[in-house]
Amino acid sequence: MTAELGATQLIIELLYLIASVLFILSLKWMSSPTTAQHSVWAGEIGMVLAIGGTLLNRGMNYRLIAIALVLGTIIGVPLGRVAMTAVPQRTALSHAFGALCVTLVGSAEFYLRTPDISRFMMAVLSLEVILGGLTITGSLMAAGKLQEILPQRPLTYKGQNLVNFLLLAVALGIAVFLVLHPEAKSLFPFMVLIALAFGVLLIIPIGGADMPTVISLLNGYAGLSAAAMGFVLNNKLLIIAGALDGSSGLILSIIMSKAMNRSFTNVLFGAFGQVQTSAAAGEEARPVRSATPEEAAAILSAANRVIIVPGYGMAVAQAQHKVRELYDALTKRGVDVRFAIHPVAGRMPGHMNVLLAEADIPYDRLIEMDEINSDFPQTDVALVIGANDVTNPAARSDASSPIYGMPILDVDKAHTVMVIKRSMNPGFAGIDNPLYYLPNTLMLFGDAKAFVGSIVRELSGGHG
Amino acid sequence: MNSSSNLINALFIFVLAGFIGFEVIRRVSPLLHTPLMSLTNALDAIAVVGAIVLVGEHKSTLATVFGFIAVVAATSNIVGGFLITDRMLKMFKSSRPAAKPAANSVAK
């Protein structure tokens, strides 16, 4: 069949080829913010060519396709217009949609082809719907946790990993049986259902701090299932797009889990909550020093170099625009202000960069951890806004700490550290942060947005 | 049937595309990891072509219904994904054009 393509088929294949090139260019241009502006149009043109080419197939029911495309657009536009703070849950939701598409197409193909399916095809198809199925529910769970519809706290119970493992084993067992006996139609829905259930159970024990890794991993799964779908449909473009998406997700998850000093398996199968035993015990009465907005403003305006360390707390308090005002006020006074970005700060890869860029902070002021860490000793003030674990010096020194070994931002090496925090309550992970008790640390108690606002007011009112 | 040669071709494409993906994505600026994810998400929704064929060919009611829902889901990813990626990328601005009055403008 491949030997003699009809003219239409040839055109379609050529359009797919052009689309593949455009997709790769689109990703290549993401290497820097200056070229990234081209990424979107390259991707869009590729997409239009591919869809247009597909519509050239003869004898199609165009009316139904048009209705579906319009409906999808109606749903898609508001999803493209969400607030920047909602981007993590939007991303999780779109992973679910992508996986839904793949799973549905895979299921439909199974029923169309059974029992006339080669063993290899059945194996790939099973992979497609198992990966797709667990990504649907897993991503929905992640989106629910990020949107705070579901509790963000990790839920754990005894034998959790055993239950998950057994479920996956059953799904894979059914897959193997179907490979050998593709006529056993009635088993197929069970395989999908188990994959769906597995997705839910996989995300239940995962807490907020692990979300960047989990979202990346789900991204990778969505890509791999799409590539599997490409094998099933013998569609090269789909294989390429799936492989690109899959490698993107996997690379991001590797970066994220390295930034937490944890392995994949540890993120997925070892909830953070289980380890916390050591810290809190005998250390409650240690003194902390706190400061008022006036004092903080005075210290900041006397500084030459300031590094601001944003975290998820800044996103929750929607403080990024106030932070921008602070950046402006300090820059005007000749203070050198930069931002230190930890790879897992926030709830998804790059979360802090997007929020700060939204607030119009130039991207050349946003510095990655590895680049900026050596500058902390020469820094007058490190201002931590809503970040916790990524600044915890116990990760360097305390072998009993659950986050021991995790690369952190060395804020404690700055001359003065100021931490904006609601109270002394440890975060979700419940890990005590010795940073708060250091002699050079000042705690600024209050809501991030309100506190930064009052510092800005002091700076502009206090006359420079 | 030459399905086994199709399979080998497909495997070649998958492995090579995986390598390209790995090399290209490795070079993506960490600044842009969030838009990268929404972009790959939109590109991944190319799965819509498989769904379109399912709807268009109308081989069985089940296939058409599944295909229809799949087209809707994928299209919303394409539209939403490109929209938000574009919005995010437009937000990233450099300080260089604005930072003219700085004292050290002589250097570089």
pLDDT tens figures, A214-225: 999 999 999 999
Of A67-71, A351-355, A379-383, A429-433, the least confident:
A429-433
Tens-digit pLDDT profile for residues A276-308: 333 444 445 578 899 999 999 999 999 999 999
Residue A382 has pLDDT above 60, yes or no: yes
> What gap in Å lies between CA B105 and CA B107, rounded to an integer?
5
User: What is the arithmetic mean of pLDDT over A46-50?
Assistant: 97
Our CA dihedral for A262, A264, A269, A271, rounded to 10 degrees, sits at 40
**Is residue A114 very low, low, confident or very high in pLDDT (cuts 50, 70, 90)?**
confident
A260 φ, ψ (degrees, to nearest 5): -110, 5
Q: Which of B62, B65, B47 is nearest to A98 (CA)?
A: B47
Do the chains contact at A94 and B25, CB–CB below 8 Å?
Answer: no
Q: Which two tokens stand for residue B104?
A: 């050290």
What span, in angstroms and rounded, lies between the C-alpha atoms of B104 and B101? Answer: 9
A310 DSSP β-pair partners = A385
pLDDT at A147 over 80: yes
What pLDDT is stored for residue B102 in this prediction? 42
Instruction: Find which of A53-62, A273-282, A360-369 is predicted with most confidence, using mean pLDDT.
Output: A360-369
Angle at A96 between CA A95 and CA A97, to 5 degrees: 90
In angstroms and rounded to an integer, the radius of gyration of the C-alpha atoms of chain A is 25
Alpha-carbon distance A427 to A401, whole Å?
15
A236 has a chain B CB within 8 A of its CB: yes
Task: Please say if the pLDDT value at position B68 is more than 70.
Answer: yes
Give the model's confidence band at B104: pLDDT under 50 very low, under 70 low, under 90 confident, else very high: very low
pLDDT classification of A407: cutoffs 50, 70, 90: very high
What residue ranges do the domains of chain A occupy? 82-273, 293-461
A17 to chain B, any CB pair closer than 8 A? The answer is no
Average pLDDT over residues A58-62: 83
- Residues A412-424 have a mean pLDDT of 91
For B47-70, what is the mean pLDDT? 94
**Chain A residues touching B36 at Cβ < 8 A:** 27, 30, 248, 252, 349-350
Subunit contact B53:A57, Cβ cutoff 8 A = yes
Decide: A64 and A19 in contact? Cβ < 8 Å: no
Q: What was the pLDDT predicted at A209?
A: 80
Specify the range with the lowest mean pLDDT, choosing from A19-23, A161-165, A198-202, B11-15. A161-165
Chain centroid to CA A374: how far? 27
> Is A226 in contact with A241 (CB distance < 8 Å)?
yes
Give the C-alpha separation, A234 to A227, whole Å.
10
> What mean pLDDT do residues A75-99 have?
95
In the prediction, which pLDDT does A110 show? 95
∠ CA B42-B46-B47, rounded to 5°:
120
What is d(CA B51, CA B66) in angstroms, rounded to the nearest whole number?
8
Reported as a single tens digit per residue, the pLDDT across A178-237 is: 999 998 999 999 999 999 999 999 898 888 788 898 999 999 999 999 999 999 999 999
Interchain contact A83–B (C-beta under 8 A)? no
Mean of pLDDT over chain B: 87
The rounded distance, in Å, linking the Cα atoms of A2 and A90 is 40
Contact A350 B31 (CB under 8 A): yes
pLDDT of res. B7? 85
List C-alpha distances in Å: A58 to A53, A61, A66, A73, A458. 11, 9, 15, 24, 70
Chain B contact set for A243 (CB, 8 A): 13-14, 17-18, 20-21
Residues from chain B that touch A104, judged by Cβ atoms under 8 A, are: 51, 66-67, 69-70, 73
pLDDT at A91: 96
Neighbours of A140 (CB within 10 A): 22
B105 Cβ under 8 Å from any chain A Cβ: no
pLDDT grade for A2, boundaries at 50, 70 and 90: very low
pLDDT at A377 over 60: yes
B:42-101 residues touching chain A, CB 8 A cutoff: 42-60, 62-64, 66-96, 98-99
What mean pLDDT, rounded, does chain A reach?
89
Q: How far apart are CA A224 and CA A127, in angstroms?
A: 9
* Residue A308, helix vs strand vs coil: strand
Helix (H, G, I), strand (E, B) or coil at A340: strand
Query: Which is higher by pLDDT, A398 or A173?
Result: A173
Query: For the whole model, what pTM was predicted?
Result: 0.90
Residue A263 pLDDT: 76
Of A155-164, A292-301, A327-336, A373-382, which range is least confident?
Answer: A155-164
pLDDT at A82 over 90: yes
Instruction: Report residue A153's pLDDT band, with 50, 70 and 90 as the boundaries.
Output: confident
> Which of A217-221, B2-6, B56-60 comes out lowest in average pLDDT?
B2-6
Give the residues across from A444 on adjacent strands.
Answer: A420
For residue B100, name the pLDDT band (cuts at 50, 70, 90): very low
Q: Name the percent of chain A lying above pLDDT 90.
A: 70
* Average pLDDT for A365-387: 95
What is the rounded CA–CA span in Å between residue A327 and residue A226? 43
Read off the pLDDT band of B108 (50, 70, 90). Answer: very low
Say if strands A366-368 and A381-385 run parallel, antiparallel, or are unpaired: unpaired
Around Cβ B108, how many Cβ atoms within 10 Å?
A: 4
Write the CATH number of the domain with boundaries A293-461: 3.40.50.1220
Split at pLDDT 50, 70, 90, the class of A6 is confident
pLDDT reported for residue A285: 58
Residue whose token pair is 């002394």: A424
> Is A1 a residue whose pLDDT tops 60?
no
For position A17, what pLDDT does the model report?
A: 96
Buried b / exposed e across A358-396, counting CB within 10 Å, b at 16+? bbebbbebbbebeebbebbeebbbbbbbbbbbbbbbbbe
